[in-house]
Amino acid sequence: MKGFLSHHPVLSVKTPEGLQAARASGMNKSVIEKWFASYAALLTKPNIKDVPSHIWNLDESGFQDYFFLRKLWGRKGDEKK
């Protein structure tokens, strides 16, 4: 590992941040159930619930129900990427 990093000085090993408190507070059963109920109503009103080609996923950030810290590779200076 040390040899690889010495040959690639633009890389570093990073530890990601944990889950933020505001996001953690939204990870409870009642909030998630309310969101899915609202989403179902949104799909039912224009009658597109059973038309998958009309439902688009525009958020590619993902959704995790558990969080753990692990080491990642990244370019030095790219703290948020």
pLDDT in tens, 3-27: 888 888 888 887 766 667 767 777 7
Residues 16-74 have pLDDT tens digits of 666 677 677 777 888 889 989 998 898 898 888 888 888 776 665 655 555 566 776 67
Euclidean distance between the first and the last CA atom of the chain, given in angstroms as a whole number: 22
Tokens of residue 40, six digits:
């179902």
Q: What's the one-letter identity of residue 26?
A: G
Q: Return d(Cα 26, Cα 44) in angstroms, integer.
A: 25
Q: Which of 20, 63, 23 shows the shortest CA–CA distance to 39?
A: 63
Q: Which of 12, 9, 8, 19 shows the shortest CA–CA distance to 61?
A: 19
